Amino acid sequence: MNALVEDLRTSPAHGGAIPRPVAQARLALLGTGTVGSAVLARLAAWQDSGFAPGLQLAHVANSRRAVDGEAGLAPGLARARLDGSDQASRLDDVPAALRGAGKSIVVDATASAEVAARHAAWLEQGIHVVTACKLARGTSLAGWQAVEVAKSRGGSQYGDAATVGAGLPLLRSIRDLRAGGDRIHAVAGVLSGSLAWLFNHYDGLRPFSGFVRNARDAGYTEPDPREDLSGEDVRRKLLILARAAGVALEQEAVEVTSLVPPDMAALGRGEVDAALPRLDPLLRQRYAQAYKNGEVLRFVARLEQGRARVGLESLPADHALAGGAGTDNRVAIWSDRYRDQPLVIQGPGAGAEVTAAGLLDDVLRIAAS
């Protein structure tokens, strides 16, 4: 914490988390990796403190196994129960596991296209979906529209705060501006937490590939870091933001400049780690050029004048998009009311804990609605 800012946790006025009465809701958590484990940890902490007592964990699954708990699984024990379970993970079983009193909510903490393909069907059945996975809304326009149609048919809600900015109030701000009558003119910024971290740390001296391994091990990258390095993950985030802003973009409309050499893009997942040093020559050269110009490298997404593009840019160090530290996303939004000076939103844009918090904020919002 910044020493100039008083730490409110130690202030006498700080009262801790207020127990929150939540109407009963049954949750199915899909994915117990980096993000899913943090969801379980947050639910376990809530259970200990008595916060949000109405939430009941009815089903937990990873790609191989599943475990059900009709009366609710203890979040702190769910991983151990899952590891010892002989129940196979089957997406067809999810609706039945959620049957019971209160709202039914699927929490998608996977990176699975197969799970994303179920979102619309669940919504249509009245099951709410909260997701960190961008594949349902950030790929084809038809996929995005299918979610919209299914929500209105099923009277269900879709919590997507964690899909962009790991829960930062980005989508919410764009939707609030539009709900207040504003048109969104442009959006530009750093949308990748892992790439932000990489370009905040890379010094042109040590190999870029080593930093990629560190970002992966810290849980900032996608399960396959090429998703980040190729710009594909940022493309999905920009598409989600653009569509929320009222711009119905097809995924091919985003110009993406990848950092991944073609020979590395073609490799199998298991071969990626050994091939990471293939990134080093291009990044060393881009860094040296930027350094010579007194600039910094940032991986930027832009939606301006109907044109959408994503790629590495060399920016003056005092440029509005160059600020921030760590995994910070930094996004500028221009609208009718923010015509000259944009609204700028900055904060950590990757990491298990912030993402889990973003997912559970959406769960609480839906449970309370």
Ligand X SMILES: N[C@@H](CC=O)C(=O)O
* Spatial distance between the Cα atoms of 359 and 40, rounded to a whole number of angstroms: 11
Of all residues in this chain, which one has the CB nearest to ligand NAI in the complex? Answer: 33
Taking CB under 6 A as the rule, does residue 104 contact ligand X? no
* Spatial distance between the Cα atoms of 184 and 181, rounded to a whole number of angstroms: 10
**Is the Cβ of residue 150 or residue 166 nearer to ligand NAI in the bound state?**
166
Taking CB under 6 A as the rule, does residue 32 contact ligand NAI? yes
Out of ligand X, ligand NAI, none, what residue 63 binds, judged by CB under 5 to 8 A for its kind, is: ligand NAI
Catalytic residue at 292? no
CB of 213 to ligand X, least distance (A): 14
In one letter, which amino acid is 276?
Answer: L
Q: Yes or no: say if 117 and 147 are a contact pair by the CB < 8 Å rule.
A: no
* Binding positions for L-homoserine: 222
**Is the Cβ of residue 34 or residue 156 nearer to ligand X in the bound state?**
34
Query: Binding string, 203-222, against ligand X, x = CB under 6 A?
Result: -----------------xxx
Could you tell me the two tokens for 329?
């996303």
Q: How many helices (H) and strands (E) does the chain have?
A: 15, 13
Q: Yes or no: say if 170 and 176 are a contact pair by the CB < 8 Å rule.
A: no
Query: Binding string, 217-256, against ligand X, x = CB under 6 A?
Result: ---xxx-----x----x-----------------------
Query: Binding string, 280-319, against ligand X, x = CB under 6 A?
Result: ----------------------------------------
**Is the Cβ of residue 30 or residue 290 nearer to ligand NAI in the bound state?**
30
Q: Yes or no: say if 187 and 241 are a contact pair by the CB < 8 Å rule.
A: yes
Taking CB under 6 A as the rule, does residue 55 contact ligand NAI? no
Q: Yes or no: say if 194 and 220 are a contact pair by the CB < 8 Å rule.
A: yes
Taking CB under 6 A as the rule, does residue 254 contact ligand NAI? no
Could you tell me the two tokens for 174?
């764009």
**Is the Cβ of residue 61 or residue 272 nearer to ligand NAI in the bound state?**
61
Taking CB under 6 A as the rule, does residue 202 contact ligand X? no
**Is the Cβ of residue 347 or residue 349 nearer to ligand X in the bound state?**
349
Taking CB under 6 A as the rule, does residue 83 contact ligand NAI? no
Residue among 86, 150, 171 at smallest CA distance from 362: 171
Task: For strands 87-88 and 103-108, give the pairing.
Answer: unpaired
Task: For strands 25-30 and 103-108, give the pairing.
Answer: parallel
Residue among 170, 299, 307 at smallest CA distance from 233: 299
Taking CB under 6 A as the rule, does residue 189 contact ligand X? no
3-state secondary structure (DSSP) of residue 215: helix
Taking CB under 6 A as the rule, does residue 194 contact ligand X? yes
Tokens 């008595």 sit on residue: 50
Tokens 């996977």 sit on residue: 110
* Spatial distance between the Cα atoms of 350 and 341, rounded to a whole number of angstroms: 26
Q: Yes or no: say if 230 and 236 are a contact pair by the CB < 8 Å rule.
A: no
> Which active-site residues does the annotation give?
237
List of residues contacting ligand X (CB under 6 A):
166, 192-194, 220-222, 228, 233, 349-350
List of residues contacting ligand NAI (CB under 6 A):
30-36, 61-63, 89, 109-112, 114-115, 132-134, 162, 166, 193, 219-220, 222-223, 350-351, 355
